[in-house]
Structure 1
Amino acid sequence: MASVCSENNDVSAIFFDLDNTLIQTRKCDTRTCNKFIEMLEQEYGLPKEMAVESAASFLRAFRARPDDDSFAFEEWPAHLWRNSLPKNYRHLAKTLSTEWLKYRYQNLTLSNDVIHLLESLREDYLLGLITNGPSRAQWYKIDRLGLRKYFDCVLVSGDLPWEKPDQHIFLEACKLLNVEPRTCIMVGDRLDTDIKGGKKAELGGTIWVPLQKEEQSSILPDFTIDKVTELPEVLSNSPKLKRCARTSTVC
């Protein structure tokens, strides 16, 4: 397999997307939702169809808007549960919100293989995390999973004037790491944000880790891999630049 390299420049930094790239957010949330269908039916007495519809309605709303700063952090999922449950079961919303956060983060973890990947790559490359999403929700996730220690720079779009695919969020990461865009690569699951944005910023390479291989788009990544742990296969022929000694930066 060919390796990622741009105009004879070695790769100096690797930028990663978070959700559905390093952690399987969608799969984990679906698994948690299925747990809640059982809970609603068996523990709280909702009829099967009602339990399925309530849990599915909550998950749709949560995926569309995982946080709202006008609510306390724990109150937002409770609000979504109140809107998703039948009227005579809405008193369960606060309990379900607490349980949702508990079970979600039992499922939402970094795998040992991904931890090994990040630790190994960080010996030879600068690593950046660039994630779209509400600031509070994404930082809660980042801190709950202990991600800061793996990265030299962390950018959350909710803190900034831009989000992927705006090229400026990628260029900001390059600036913070003091690297040229042409020596950086972007790894992510979305063509319309991660890959498109990496190309707009004229990064040295883009690597797609698709959720759905059949996805059709005019946006073409430089490489496609089945899972993020296959990344070394497209780096293996590129001479590595040893990381400069510097203090880790979290922005």
Structure 2
Amino acid sequence: MMASDLYAENSDVLAIFFDLDNTLIQTRKADARTCSKLVEVLQQEYGLPQDAAVESATTFLRAFRARPDDDTYGLDEWPAHLWRNSLPKNYRHIAKNISAEWINLRFKNLALTNDVIHLLETLREDYLLGLITNGPSRAQWQKIERLGLRKYFDCLLVSGDLPWEKPDQEIFLEACKKLNVEPRTCIMVGDKLETDIKGGKEAELGGTVWIPLQKDEESSDLPDFTIEKVTELPEVLPNSPKLKRTIAKVC
């Protein structure tokens, strides 16, 4: 079944579910940009040699991506711990300061762009919106609160609070239940084939929209649509002129 055929049969889209990281916010790019800036800070303000600054930031980012939170530490204490383990021994006393700079600069880089804000505000006029994100509860809710995301969504689900995570169909069905909509009337938008797209299909949602993290990434679990960035989403929604033209050609 072609994507246009799918929407021709299920044109009553009521809800759109979004992934968070690397879909609505560019987490990997923002984190890399933040660490790049901290390399400069480590050199200019604390006197680390360039090689040591780069190695420290690279080691930190690798560890943080592998484990963004550890609930045996305070939420802001965990990155400080990772920085302490990443810095050369004679610079570990600055870990707390560098961690504070990491947190502040990171959330500036993670902030929703004006285009994405406009997208969400516009979509809310016609659709229910849900956020479905995998990850540790504290770390994901910190993003949601610090970035002011609550006001854009009718439903927010973080896998760390639940018995399931994407691609388990139950997390998608839970979102449908909270919004009182049928799965066939919902669309899932995300960057990961193995979680967002596979899970959306297994939950029998009305459609899936994939935003590849890398342009050369290939899809085995074929999404119904592929777009380059989330702001292109209106181009593949049922009421868009582009989609109507596609359906007309197929029919």
TM-score, scaled relative to structure 1 = 0.92
Contact persistence 2:11–2:238 (CA under 8 A): no
In structure 2, distance between residues paired with 1:20 and 1:26: 7
The aligned counterpart of 1:43 is 45
- 1:167 shift after superposition: 0.6
- 1:215 shift after superposition: 1.5
The aligned counterpart of 2:186 is 184
The aligned counterpart of 1:7 is 9
> RMSD value over aligned CA atoms?
1.6
SS of corresponding position for 2:189: strand
- 1:122 shift after superposition: 0.6
In structure 2, distance between residues paired with 1:63 and 1:210: 19
More deviation in 45-54 or 230-239? 230-239
Alignment-mate amino acid for residue 119 of structure 1: E
1:62 equivalent to 2:64? Answer: yes
1:113 equivalent to 2:115? Answer: yes
From the superposition, tell whether residues 203 and 47 of structure 1 become closer, same or farther in structure 2 (CA, over 3 Å). Answer: same
The aligned counterpart of 2:23 is 21
- 1:119 shift after superposition: 0.7
Higher helix share: 2
The CA deviation string for residues 98-143 of structure 1, in whole angstroms up to 9 with x for no partner, is 1111111111100111111111111111100000111011111101
The aligned counterpart of 2:87 is 85
SS of corresponding position for 2:73: coil
In structure 1, distance between residues paired with 2:220 and 2:117: 33
In structure 1, distance between residues paired with 2:58 and 2:133: 25
In structure 2, distance between residues paired with 1:189 and 1:4: 21
In structure 2, distance between residues paired with 1:199 and 1:8: 14
1:147 equivalent to 2:149? Answer: yes
Alignment-mate amino acid for residue 171 of structure 2: I
- 1:43 shift after superposition: 1.1
User: Can you give the 5+ residue segments of structure 2 that lack an aligned partner in the other structure?
Assistant: 242-251
Contact persistence 1:9–1:182 (CA under 8 A): no
Contact persistence 1:3–1:233 (CA under 8 A): no
The aligned counterpart of 2:199 is 197
Contact persistence 2:13–2:238 (CA under 8 A): no
In structure 1, distance between residues paired with 2:77 and 2:184: 43
Point out 4+ residue stretches in structure 1 off by more than 4 angstroms: 1-4
In structure 2, distance between residues paired with 1:66 and 1:6: 42
The CA deviation string for residues 58-89 of structure 1, in whole angstroms up to 9 with x for no partner, is 01111111111110111100110011111111
Aligned length: 239
Percent of aligned pairs sharing the same letter: 78
- 1:168 shift after superposition: 0.5
From the superposition, tell whether residues 144 and 188 of structure 1 become closer, same or farther in structure 2 (CA, over 3 Å). Answer: same
Q: 1:207 aligns with which of 206, 209, 216?
A: 209
Q: Which structure carries more relative contact order (alpha carbon 8 Å, separation 6+)?
A: 1
TM-score, scaled relative to structure 2 = 0.92
- 1:213 shift after superposition: 2.1
